[in-house]
Amino acid sequence: MTTGAIIAIVVAALIVIAIVAFLLPRMRRKAQIQKRERELQQRRERVANEHRSEADQREREASQAEQRARIAQKEAEAQRAQAELHQERAGLHEKGMADDELIDDHERDKFAGTSAMSGSHDRDGNGVDDRREAITGRDGNRDDYDQGRRDQAIEDQNNRPARFDRDNVAAESPREEQRR
């Protein structure tokens, strides 16, 4: 080998070493940045998964709370209906319309002659049973308008032609005409 070739090899080696020395820190920095990016991405995914699982858990709890609220509302409605039922029963007892519930069979003789045993449930004397008035909310006296409507409905029903009146057959069947 000649000295020129050796010098060229040494110069080439020095250039390669300089390039590697210059590029190596950049490559290390780039590798470190990529490593940090991967770590950051892993942290993001982990935190996002934690938030999603927390959101799912809270959604389940909210659904359960809504269901409990619906149940509580239904229970409150049932309690309100029971209260109304008891109010109605109290009203019947106050008016003396449920005296039969108060007197057992063996006590009938004891309460004979009282309002509970008289059989009359027309305390206001209008000719209509007070129990019926309580149910219908009317006193039994219809006004002229109601009576007129009822009379008209009955008249309309009586004057309506029959749907299947066999006396008014319009035409005979074609087979019967052919037979003649």
Model pLDDT for residues 138-161, shown as the tens digit of each residue: 555 556 777 777 777 777 766 766
36-65 pLDDT tens trace: 999 999 999 999 999 999 999 999 999 999
Q: Which of 89, 88, 97 is nearest to 123 (CA)?
A: 97
Any domain includes 111: yes
Q: How many domains does the chain have?
A: 1
Give yes or no for a contact between 84 and 94, defined as CB atoms under 8 angstroms apart.
no
Tokens of 139: 């006193």
Instruction: Please report whether residue 133 resides in a domain.
Output: yes
Structural domain boundaries enclosing 105: 96-118+128-138
Q: Is residue 103 part of a domain?
A: yes
Answer whether residue 41 is part of any domain.
Answer: no
Is 105 a member of any domain?
Answer: yes
114 located within any domain: yes
Q: Is the Cβ–Cβ distance between 133 and 139 less than 8 Å?
A: yes
**Strand residue runs (E) in 4-152:** none
The CA distance from 172 to 99, in Å, is 67
Identify residue 69 by its one-letter amino acid code: A
What is the number of alpha carbons within 13 Å of residue 145 lying toward its C-beta?
0
Does this model's pTM top 0.75? My answer is no
Selected residue with higher pLDDT from 100 and 6 = 6
Q: Is residue 177 situated within a structural domain?
A: no
What does the alpha-carbon distance between residue 121 and residue 127 come to, in Å, rounded to a whole number?
Answer: 9
